[in-house]
Structure 1
Amino acid sequence: MTDSSPRHLPPRLPSSIVALACFWGLAEATLFFIVPDVLLSWLALRRPWAQVWRACLWALGGALLGGVLMYGWGRLAAPSALATLQQIPAISLAMCEAVGQQLREQGALALFTGPLTGVPYKIYAVQSGAQQASLWLFLAISVPARLLRFLAVAGLVRLICRAFPAMSVRFRQGLCMAGWSSFYLYYFWHFA
């Protein structure tokens, strides 16, 4: 008789983390300004990689939903969507206009490369809708663009942890908090 119990599988991701990852992805893709990478990197400090991967997928799902909402808002009422975006910290009229220009000049490639430069995904979503870009193309490019970044950030944290195994979890958490604090201090100084 064969034992078919799933003992080789890592523990399931708690539903509270699933909900948080999904909600954070949605929130950041719409009006929130702290990236879900903060949560994902925090999870990478202690959770099994399979759980971190799943959290990345849930954050992606939330981000895609948020992207569709912002795309639709841009398509139906671009002026109000852009005006609202400018109320979010570190988003300016100039940034919104630059994204619009970038999409006109580079097309779909801008959707992939633009958010990697620190320009919020939500602006690309609104401007893609405003320019009547294909929703399916927008989503098709959003999947690898968002997921690769989520995995890269979490993977980098995991690599650092493996490179320095003697570091305590508390010290790693302190480094993670210091890293994100430094990132956002620079980000708001640079883009504000």
Structure 2
Amino acid sequence: MRLLPERVGLEAFAWGLAEATLFFIVPDVLLSGLALKQSMRRVVHACLWALAGALLGGVLMYFWGRFSPITVLGVLREIPAIDLPMCEEVTRQLRDEGLFALFIGPLTGTPYKIYAAMAGALALNPLLFFAISIPARLLRFLAVAGLVRLICRAFPGLSLGGRMGLWAVGWLGFYGWYFSHFAG
């Protein structure tokens, strides 16, 4: 039994992969949009697809950082809202906290791709990086989608159009704040 149309799973996978490498909009946008109208079971399935893409992207960034740290740092700094001080802070966190620093990123708005690349540059254990990436990414995906589901339940009379309007305003507001806060 297929939980989601194949296309949605592939979209979630592709978005997870893209955001873990060079794209700058989180897959949570798609996942929270699905949470507006899909069952939580289907949303979790999409979260797992996004996780798979993010893990592939994280591994690619890890090994890029491992074998070409100067190049990956230069490319990261070209991505909107990523600068050298952010990359240096991630490097410091990884040195001080080890790979458990991967859990700091979602709390501070720091992209996973930086943690992946800098973990590689520091030659941290790749298997441990991969293992810790699973809960570090999945917890955030599920938390955002779950929060949207809770909001939908709190306002059962709100139409799908109303929910979609709030979703759009929420993400536009978030990224307006994010880029004004992190973009130099």
Shorter-chain TM range is: over 0.9
**Aligned-partner Cα distance in 2 for 1:89–1:113:** 20
Which of 148, 172, 177 is the matching residue for 1:181?
A: 172
Partner of 1:16: 7
Identity %: 63
Q: Matched residue of 1:107: which SS?
A: helix
Q: CA deviation at 1:113?
A: 1.9
Quote the RMSD (CA, aligned, Å).
Answer: 1.0
Which of 100, 106, 124 is the matching residue for 2:97?
A: 106
1:150 and 2:141 are equivalent in the alignment: yes
Which blocks of at least 5 consecutive residues in structure 1 are unaligned?
1-8
Q: CA deviation at 1:17?
A: 0.2
Q: CA deviation at 1:20?
A: 0.2
Letter in 1 for 2:63: G
Which has the greater radius of gyration? 1
What is the correspondence of 1:92-171 to structure 2 with a 5 Å cutoff?
92-171=83-162
Q: CA deviation at 1:114?
A: 2.5
Q: Matched residue of 2:52: which SS?
A: helix
Letter in 2 for 1:150: F
Letter in 2 for 1:97: E
**Aligned-partner Cα distance in 2 for 1:72–1:160:** 39
Equivalent pairs, count = 183
**Aligned-partner Cα distance in 2 for 1:48–1:114:** 28
- Render the CA deviation track for 1:75-132: whole Å, top value 9, x for unaligned: 0000000100000000001111111111111112211223331000000000000000
Letter in 2 for 1:75: R
Q: Matched residue of 1:122: which SS?
A: helix
Letter in 1 for 2:103: F
Which blocks of at least 5 consecutive residues in structure 2 are unaligned?
none
**Aligned-partner Cα distance in 2 for 1:112–1:184:** 21
1:53 and 2:44 are equivalent in the alignment: yes
